[in-house]
Amino acid sequence: MALRGVLRAGEVAIRVMDMKAARQHYGDRMGLHEMMTDDTGRVYYKAWDEHDHHSIVLREADSPGMDYFAFKVFDDATLTTLEQKLEAFGLQVERIEAGVYPKSGRRIQFVLPSGHTMQLYAHKEQVGNTLGLVNPGVVPDEGVIRGFRINRLDHLLLGGGHLDENVRLFTEVFDFDLGEKLVDHESGASLAVFLSCSTKPHDIAFVLQPQQNKFHHVSFLLESAHDVIKAADMIGKYRIPVDVGPNRHGVTRGATIYFFDPSGNRNEVFAEGYVHYPDTPTLVWDTRELGQATFSQDNTPRESFLTVLT
């Protein structure tokens, strides 16, 4: 009870086509901290205020997109319980031994109705946020917060089919809430669903796509809308391709800018947004207000939002 069970998106594994360019993007420019390279060439990053060893894994590949994502759960017993619930839900669950993924305890892995590979794990090596645990103070040394001033991995948005099945899985098995959804005004069909396991307005979201297992974006939490503007300044400085923004989402009320990594994977920096609780009623947007739902400061839907995924 309280915040228990599934805690947060803890790891996203992204395919990039040029690791050198990707390291410049995620490390030098965005300012994530490079933590290690493994013997397969994968590069691991964390945001400064995360305590766990890493949250982003880059793998060089022939096409962009996402290999898998993983949520951290409260403890090992939760993993055991969720394995049973997932199988009862009808999913095939694969067990992965501790250590197969670096710095990580055992995991379970399964495929969502939308085609995405999802993992759960309860343990990852903790390295802290540089402030220490005794009399930590509030400000890390100069240089620790850098680039886009990213605090944490925040959420991800994925594209595929069977959104309502995904919602059923996340709410029934994982106890997420459906915070918001976007529906077709005519048919009532779900076009996008936004799910929360915390007080954040969303921890994961899905958008309807003709293809399974597509990657829309990974989002990073900044401290304030002020920092979204500052990140946008650096995006402009480095000529990073911008998809949309700065703007505000109607869904979540978060301040946002969407941009692309050198391989075409969409990134977001995000701040603010309301405080969500399980007793907050689900907010429903329909296609009459697609502009407001997606980009509320100019009410202009972008075609790329629904069509450009990796």
Q: Which residues are catalytic?
A: 155, 202, 217, 249, 258, 268
Beta bridge partners of 205: 157, 194
Residue 176 or 305 having the CB closest to a copy of itself: 176
Sheet holding 33-37, edge to edge: 33-37, 43-46, 56-60, 6-16, 65-73, 117-121, 107-111, 94-96
Residue pointed to by tokens 């459906």: 178
Residue 161 or 261 having the CB closest to a copy of itself: 261
Least distance CB 20 / a copy of itself (angstroms): 19
Residue 101 or 285 having the CB closest to a copy of itself: 285
Beta bridge partners of 162: none
Residue 20 or 288 having the CB closest to a copy of itself: 288
**H or E, element range at 109:** strand 107-111
Residue pointed to by tokens 């946002």: 256
**Closest-CA residue to 140 (of 267, 273, 33):** 33
Least distance CB 192 / a copy of itself (angstroms): 14
Least distance CB 21 / a copy of itself (angstroms): 18
Least distance CB 117 / a copy of itself (angstroms): 21
Q: Which residues are within 8 A (CB) of 156 and not within 5 positions of it... i.e. 6 or more apart?
A: 9, 12, 66, 69, 204, 205, 215, 216, 217, 218, 219
